[in-house]
Amino acid sequence: MEKLVSSWGNNVKALPHNYIFPPELRPGNNLKIPFTTNIPTDLSELENYHHRFQTIQKIIKASEEFGFFQVINHGVDINLMKETRKVMKELFEMGDEYKQKLYSEDPLKPCRLYTSRPTYATDGNLHLWRDSFIHPCHPLDQWQHLWPQNPTKYREYVGACSVEVKKLASRILRLISEGVGLECEYFEKGGLSGSMLVSLNHYPACPEPSLTLGVSKHSDPNLVTILLQDYVSGLQVLHNGKWIAVEPLPDAFLVNVGFQLQIISNGRLQCCDHRVVTNSSDARTTAAFFVAPLDDSFIEPAQAFIDEYHPPFFKSFKYKDFRSYYIAEKGDTEVVMESFLA
């Protein structure tokens, strides 16, 4: 597989020209930036009546200020997380002949391996230092039979992890609803959280990490994203015009606000621009679980956020129309958001 970075990236000592970003987009010296205020939210504190309010408000504040937070003691089995990370890495270590069978540049194919971006075929001459394997994972019985049979434990562990992550996402959305004054089941109605797909992202060690990116700056188009990381850092979030590093915490999940949650909250909760940088010594593998509305779900600011002093800031639309526009504009945050302002 001459296109997949995982097939040839370890054998080069200098970046190919089509992986070198323009100077203004390169990470440069911003490969590792300390983020000292990254205090995780301990979901076990919800069981304590006196700590419940503070824990929920911690989630809301982080969603308002940063657009993301990390959760620990979340209820997902730690061994399941470990085995899922293991089988994810095994997938990208499979032989080229097998990966060729999974590879596709057809954006309509639901289960596929690709490199750089989903739109690789129309990317031009600038690529990301990343391979990805993407497929739907909810409802599980509708999609699992399409997943690869190798690695042999892939369906078992990624399937079990998907079920637990969907439960965690529903729990977090109920907590957010409680924190901002929505009815508890708000996001479970109208198909607002009815879809979930997983993107396994593999970033091989890079010979010149200051010149390229694993993922360009963007915000997620969906409702919320639940990220399962390994122990290699790489995620950076744009906050007050500066990039800050998000260090992976042992056995934590990272949660970030997507465009749809910002729109439904009428701008109170903020989706966050983020990117991924690489490094020269360690490969990084993650699983991003994208919880999203169903295609025909109707999206608009919730009435709880609208009054005579706070008019709706965003238009009403169907999610499929937003997603199509997002893809057409290649995730450009400013262009996308501008087009959906009321």
pLDDT digits (tens, 9 = 90+) for 41-89: 999 999 888 899 999 999 999 999 999 999 999 999 999 999 999 999 9
pLDDT, residue 107, reads 86
Residue 215: CA atoms inside 13 Å, Cβ hemisphere, count?
26
pLDDT, residue 250, reads 85
Cis peptide before 204 (omega within 30 of 0): no
What's CA 156's distance to the chain center, in Å? 22
pLDDT, residue 39, reads 66
* Secondary structure (DSSP) of 230-254: -S---EEEEETTEEEE-PPPTT-EE
pLDDT, residue 170, reads 98
For the whole prediction, is pTM greater than 0.85? yes
pLDDT, residue 92, reads 97
Which residues make beta-bridge pairs with 132? Answer: 114, 201
Using DSSP's 3-state secondary structure scheme, residue 314 falls into strand
pLDDT, residue 37, reads 52
Q: Round to whole Å and give the CA distance between 90 and 285.
A: 10
pLDDT, residue 36, reads 46
Q: Round to whole Å and give the CA distance between 333 and 311.
A: 22
State the virtual CA torsion across 111, 117, 118, 119 in degrees, nearest 10: -150
pLDDT, residue 50, reads 82
Burial 119-156 (b: 16+ CB within 10 A, else e): ebeebeebbbbbbbbbbbbbebeebbeebbeebeebbe
Mean pLDDT per 10-residue interval, the chain, length 342 residues: 88 94 88 63 89 94 94 97 98 95 93 92 86 98 96 98 98 97 96 98 97 96 97 91 88 96 98 95 97 98 94 97 92 91 93
